[in-house]
């Protein structure tokens, strides 16, 4: 038995499971004294409504420029909570590991999770580990669920976009999807493209502090990209939206890979960007606040709510025309997150 | 494109993802008005400490006598919360589906989840769906995370076993593991063995109402079986435990399959049973209460905390000897849950 690899017994619930927990998982993720070896964590939440979210991460490859499946799994769930205007507090970690996966790689992923959690000021409080036979899962999948608390009454929601709202993107688009794609395709690039995977909760705090009730919608444009997310919001809120191609922040290297591969960056996934819909009178101030935040330096106003025709999205192109924007059809890039 | 199968686009986050949500997932699981199409559910928890737990389910086969991966995923997480003495309230569902999986099978699994959730009086409030290419996951894996509320101050915990405690099992042991094993091995049996997968929260309510502070430990002996769970509790509580083989409730059919396959039922997984450690003066009353509950008809006192030598577990065998009981070593049966 090779002691450097994960074996089925590590998922048995028996002696080897305890060994993996005691030697690797708990020392790195920390049990924080809340779960111990019980079946659930006991938590004292501050008063307020709770936000509760879940996401599974199946990204391929598990290590990519700018992150790993571990940090991605923390950032994604932190951001889902932050997009509700919640303060992320507690995270659960469900690992599904392929028999034969390297313990060293697992250790790297766990350390990356812990670091991401510390950076976002969330606590990993409970978890579960399953091991499945070789060939029954591809390397490692991770589920993170999260609990946050909402200490305000702002109706931040995908259904709260209002005519006149300006739409801010917090930075360049398409970085995550293109980082994964370039890595998977083995493209040789002059400038390495890094995933933008990052926690957005402190940026959200800054936006709320500036905008208060003038903040109507927050959403992170992950799978399906900016186009799909904007279309969703237009449908949910019953409004029409115009985007301005000219204002869309895109890194030249990302634009380059997109044109080589025939991809539209508007449909490419982001993992560290948010869209904020802000009442027009406050939009410039909020944009300035976002640009002063490390996670928002390239922020721009990329569109506006321009009418009440539910679900209609169009883009003013650089050459001056208008084109309809639809949701991503089919699958552009499997296992992006 | 075969319209009866799940395709990669159903996990894209784009148009097909929305279609799957709107046509299948939300109508069956129900969005309960709390998540809408936002990234997280908003919840108003009753006052009290929270319990938070997560589990991934990778059981093979996904349909088995007595249940499916769907009901199992609900029962398992409901029970993890109940074992903390918490009232389960909210469940998240993370689906990871293999490309080519049948929509009809998915529908069956979702209906089974909904029914199990209704039976346990928990609400499915948020979810996530990923689709991965054929061969990258075996059919379907499901993560459920759960939030419960604890409305009492009882220190129910694996580290709270006390000398003199009687140990009650709520029914026959080994049913789930042997149901899966017999099904997977294609054994022809006179009596079909059904999984015991079931929610235990209402049974826990009844136990707490009878025992109050005389209830010290609750734990469901899933992976690793009764032996592993008892050993864990002995270690966590720093006590020694004696089990009585004679009192161990085992269905004859389960015993039969165990002897054919050379398995010890003490190490076989259960999914609808609990172990309760009760102060001796109340144990018989609590046993009676458990036996009157539909989930506890075959309950029995199977052991006691007999000393303070941390982690020592022994069993008085039917023929009169004593044998040491250890945790499950290695993996008896992969993908049991």
Q: What is the dihedral of CA B167, B169, B174, B179, to 10 degrees?
A: -160
Contact A143 B94 (CB under 8 A): yes
Q: Which two tokens stand for residue B336?
A: 């049991």
What are the pLDDT digits (tens) for A279-300?
999 999 999 999 999 999 999 9
Smallest Cβ–Cβ distance between B90 and the set A11, A52, A334 belongs to A52
* Residue A301, min C-alpha distance to chain B (Å): 22
Q: Measured between alpha carbons, how far is residue A320 from residues A245, A247, A252, A300, A324 in Å?
A: 10, 13, 21, 19, 13
Please indicate whether, in this complex, the C-beta atoms of A54 and B80 are within 8 angstroms of each other: no
pLDDT at A30: 83
A189: confidence class by pLDDT, cuts 50, 70, 90: confident
Is the pLDDT assigned to residue B34 strictly greater than 90?
no
Task: State the pLDDT at residue A36.
Answer: 56
The percent of residues above 70 in pLDDT, for chain A, comes to 98
- Output phi, psi for A137, to 5 deg: -150, 150
Q: A219 touching B, CB under 8 A?
A: yes
Over its C-alpha atoms, chain A yields an Rg (Å, rounded) of 21
Strand ordering across the sheet containing A49-57: A123-132, A87-98, A140-150, A49-57, B41-43
**B15 within 8 A of A326, measured Cβ to Cβ:** yes
Rounded to whole angstroms, how far apart are CA atoms B21 and B93?
13
Query: Residue A332's pLDDT is what?
Result: 78
pLDDT band per the 50, 70, 90 thresholds, residue B68: very high
Looking at residue B177, its pLDDT comes to: 97
Confidence category of residue B36, pLDDT binned at 50, 70, 90: low
CB atoms within 10 A of CB B207: 28
For A263: left if phi > 0, alpha if psi spans -120 to 50, otherwise beta; the answer is beta
Q: Supply the ipTM of this predicted assembly.
A: 0.96
- For residue B287, the model assigns a pLDDT of 98
pLDDT at A39: 75
Dist. CA A196–CA A189, nearest whole Å: 17
Helix (H, G, I), strand (E, B) or coil at B169: strand
pLDDT in tens, A79-121: 999 999 999 999 999 999 999 999 999 999 999 999 999 999 9
Q: What is the pLDDT of residue B32?
A: 58
A134 contact B CB<8A: no
What CA–CA distance (Å, rounded) separates B294 from A271? 48
| Residue in B with minimal Cα distance to A8 | B331
For the segment B127-148, what is each residue's pLDDT rounded down to a tens digit? Answer: 999 999 999 999 999 999 999 9
Q: Cα separation of B269 and B225, whole Å? A: 4
Preceding amide of B61 cis, omega within 30 = yes
* Interchain CB contact of A42 with B (< 8 Å): yes
The model's pLDDT over A158-179, given as tens digits with 9 standing for 90+, comes to 999 999 999 999 999 999 999 9
Q: Quick one: pLDDT at residue B188? A: 87
Residue A83 sits at the chain B interface (C-beta within 8 Å): yes
Q: Which residues does chain B have within 8 Å of residue A43's beta carbon, measured at their own beta carbons? A: 49-52
CA pair distance B225, A15, nearest whole angstrom: 12
Q: Could A11 and B331 be called an inter-chain contact, meaning their C-beta atoms sit closer than 8 Å?
A: yes
Band of the pLDDT at B30, cuts 50, 70, 90?
A: confident
pLDDT band, very low/low/confident/very high, at B3 (cuts 50, 70, 90): confident
DSSP state at residue B58: -
- Confidence at residue B190, expressed as pLDDT on a 0 to 100 scale: 87
What pLDDT does residue A147 have? 97
* Model confidence band, residue B93 (pLDDT cutoffs 50, 70, 90): very high
Distance CA B289, CA A23 (A): 41
Q: What is the mean pLDDT of chain A?
A: 94
Residues of A in contact with B132 (CB under 8 A): 58, 138, 334-335
Please list, in sequence order, all residues whose beta carbon lies within 8 angstroms of the beta carbon of residue B300, skipping any fewer than 6 positions away.
B168, B169, B247, B248, B249, B287
Q: B178-228, pLDDT tens digit by residue?
A: 999 999 988 888 889 999 999 999 999 999 999 999 999 999 999 999 999
Q: SS3 breakdown of chain A: % helix, strand, coil, rounded to 5?
A: 35, 25, 40
Q: Are B134 and B82 in contact (CB under 8 A)?
A: no
- State the smallest CA–CA distance between residue B250 and chain A in angstroms: 21
Q: Which residues pair with B50 in a beta bridge?
A: A43, B149
pLDDT confidence bin for B37, thresholds 50/70/90: low
pTM listed for this prediction: 0.96
In chain B, which among 154-193 make CB contacts under 8 A with chain A?
A: 157-159
Instruction: Inspect the interface and report whether the beta carbons of A145 and B54 lie closer than 8 Å.
Output: yes
pLDDT in tens, A214-245: 999 999 999 999 999 999 999 999 999 999 99
Task: Please return the burial class of A322, using the count of CB atoms within 10 Å of its CB with bins 0-12, 13-18 and 19+.
Answer: exposed
B278: enclosing H helix or E strand: strand B275-278
How many contacts does A have with B, using Cβ atoms within 8 A? 280
**What does the pLDDT read at residue A34?**
52
Is 60 exceeded by the pLDDT of residue B269?
Answer: yes
Asked if B80 lies within 8 A of A39 by C-beta distance, the reply is: yes
pLDDT at B2: 72
Q: Is the pLDDT of residue A33 over 80?
A: no
Backbone angles phi, psi at A121, to 5 degrees: 60, 40
The minimal CB distance from A96 to the residues B9, B56, B135 is found for B56
Examine the pLDDT at B247 and tell me if it is beyond 70: yes
Contact criterion met (CB < 8 Å) for A128 and B44: no
Burial of A254 (0-12, 13-18, 19+ CB in 10 A): buried
């Amino acid at each position: 038995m090779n002691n450097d690899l994960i074996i089925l017994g590590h998922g048995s619930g028996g002696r080897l499971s305890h060994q993996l927990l005691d030697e690797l998982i708990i020392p790195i993720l920390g049990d924080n004294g809340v779960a111990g070896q019980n079946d659930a964590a006991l938590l004292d939440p501050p008063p307020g409504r709770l936000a509760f979210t879940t996401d599974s991460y199946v990204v391929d490859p598990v290590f990519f420029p700018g992150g790993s499946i571990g940090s991605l799994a923390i950032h994604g769930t932190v951001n889902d909570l932050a997009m509700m205007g919640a303060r992320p507090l507690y995270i659960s970690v469900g690992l599904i590991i392929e028999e034969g996966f390297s313990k060293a790689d697992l250790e790297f992923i766990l350390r990356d999770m812990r670091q991401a959690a510390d950076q976002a000021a969330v606590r990993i409080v409970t978890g579960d580990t399953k091991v499945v036979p070789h060939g029954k899962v591809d390397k490692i999948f991770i589920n993170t669920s999260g609990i946050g608390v909402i200490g305000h009454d702002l109706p931040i929601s995908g259904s709260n976009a209002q005519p006149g709202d300006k739409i801010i993107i917090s930075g360049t688009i398409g970085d995550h999807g293109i980082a994964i794609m370039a890595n998977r395709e083995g493209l040789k690039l002059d400038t390495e493209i890094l995933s933008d995977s990052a926690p957005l909760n402190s940026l959200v705090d800054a936006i709320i502090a500036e905008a208060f009730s003038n903040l109507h919608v927050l959403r992170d444009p992950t799978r399906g990209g900016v186009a799909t997310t904007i279309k969703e919001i237009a449908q949910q809120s019953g409004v029409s939206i115009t985007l301005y191609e000219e204002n869309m922040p895109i890194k030249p290297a990302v634009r380059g890979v997109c044109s080589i591969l025939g991809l539209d960056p508007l449909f490419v996934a982001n993992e560290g960007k948010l869209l904020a819909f802000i009442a027009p009178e406050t939009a410039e101030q909020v944009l300035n606040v976002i640009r002063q935040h490390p996670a928002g330096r390239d922020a721009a106003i990329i569109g506006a709510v321009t009418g009440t025709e539910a679900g209609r999205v169009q883009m003013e192109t650089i050459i001056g025309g208008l084109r309809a924007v639809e949701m991503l059809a089919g699958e552009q890039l499997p296992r992006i997150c």
